[in-house]
């Protein structure tokens, strides 16, 4: 089996932040962003691990508190969101963003890893189905589906990473997980290779999706190339390239303020007096907030100061009582993260 490390294409982050909070050891050419925290959309190259990319960000910025929000396998390239400083508190909100991938799969060959880095397990002498059959099969893997995570992944079983067990030749039972595949498109065909695009939820394994797609057509399949082209609105064509020897100022030019990084969440604006209290852990009443619209039970919002800074993330939670109450009495504001 290939010695490369594997993890979820869109699974849980294994790039947890390290180091103390007070690690602003670099000049701050963009205001005080390094003190506040910010997000970077960086382009992960092959064959880097996601941790390799985080290590490069740490070296360039000379900051230790950096983490990423969704592992990419070493062979894959594309968008890797890195949270710096206090922005590491935004990891969960950013992990929930939809991911988009483009790549090439090879039909008729199954590998030990589900990608081109693994050893060939089996080959089929079958012609590639026509494009209509390919598209019909892909369509059957859209919507909410159950997916069994692969052995070659960063998930844990009894405290051990599955990929480490797989290297020892050990296979364990894995529970199927519910995922959402919004789109699985066939873009082109060349010989026994198929170019595809997938848009999916957190926790989706594209390698497994491709293997299941091949099985649906009566043969094996594996991913040959994979690019994460987008995470939410963050796209690969605007991602920062981590060049060795890059000046910190060049990377800081790509810094995304925290409020903008979670711009997909509704804005709940806080007056100056309450922003100060909020930073101390006090929850403001709905009535003092300037809202874009009435919140919906269960949704998460950005609590933003008059200066436009992200102060906290909060969730609107339903409270027991009569159904005909005003919405601000029917919902409680629960603080999730104070920045």
Contact 205, 150 (CB under 8 A): yes
- CA-to-CA distance for 227 and 77, rounded, in angstroms? 5
Q: Catalytic residue among 23, 32, 73, 192, which? A: 73
* CB contact burial 11-23 (16+ within 10 A = b; e otherwise): bbbbbebeeeeeb
* β-bridge mates for residue 157, sequence order: 160
Burial class, 144, CB count within 10 angstroms (exposed 0-12 / middle 13-18 / buried 19+):
exposed
Judge whether 73 counts as a catalytic residue: yes
- CA-to-CA distance for 130 and 216, rounded, in angstroms? 14
Q: Which of 107, 102, 80 is nearest to 184 (CA)?
A: 102
Contact 37, 154 (CB under 8 A): no
- CA-to-CA distance for 67 and 84, rounded, in angstroms? 7
Task: Give the three-class secondary structure for 213.
Answer: helix
Residue 34, preceding peptide bond in cis (omega within 30° of 0): no
User: Taking the mean position of all CA atoms in its chain, how far away is CA 203?
Assistant: 8
Burial class, 253, CB count within 10 angstroms (exposed 0-12 / middle 13-18 / buried 19+):
exposed
Q: Which residues are catalytic?
A: 73
């Amino acid at each position: 089996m290939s010695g490369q490390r594997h993890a979820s294409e869109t699974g849980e982050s294994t790039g947890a932040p390290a180091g103390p909070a007070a690690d602003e050891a670099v000049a701050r050419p963009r205001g005080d962003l390094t003190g506040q925290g910010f997000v970077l959309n960086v382009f992960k190259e092959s064959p880097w691990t996601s941790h390799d990319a985080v290590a490069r960000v740490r070296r360039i910025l000379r900051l230790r508190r950096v983490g990423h929000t969704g592992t990419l396998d070493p062979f894959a390239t594309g968008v890797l969101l890195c949270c710096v400083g206090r922005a590491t508190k935004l990891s969960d909100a950013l992990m929930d963003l939809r991911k988009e991938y483009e790549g090439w799969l090879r039909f008729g060959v199954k590998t030990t890893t589900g990608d081109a880095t693994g050893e060939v397990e089996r080959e089929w002498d079958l012609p590639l189905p026509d494009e209509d059959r390919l598209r019909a099969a892909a369509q059957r893997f859209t919507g909410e589906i159950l997916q069994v995570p692969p052995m070659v992944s960063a998930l844990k079983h009894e405290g051990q990473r599955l990929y480490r067990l797989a290297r020892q030749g050990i296979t364990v039972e894995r529970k199927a997980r519910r995922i959402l595949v919004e789109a699985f498109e066939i873009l082109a065909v060349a010989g026994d290779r198929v170019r595809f695009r997938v848009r999916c939820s957190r926790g989706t394994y594209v390698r497994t999706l491709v293997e299941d797609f091949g099985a649906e057509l009566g043969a094996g399949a594996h991913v040959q190339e994979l690019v994460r082209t987008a995470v939410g609105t963050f796209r690969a064509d605007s991602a920062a390239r981590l060049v060795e020897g890059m000046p910190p100022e060049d990377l800081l030019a790509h810094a995304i303020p925290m409020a903008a990084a979670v711009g997909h969440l509704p804005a709940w604006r806080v007056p100056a007096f309450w922003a100060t209290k909020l930073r101390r852990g006090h929850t403001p009443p709905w009535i003092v907030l300037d809202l874009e619209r009435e919140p919906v039970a269960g949704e998460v919002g950005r609590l933003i100061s008059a200066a436009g800074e992200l102060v906290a993330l909060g969730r609107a939670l339903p409270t027991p009582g009569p159904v005909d109450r005003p919405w601000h009495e029917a919902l409680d504001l629960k603080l999730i993260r104070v920045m």
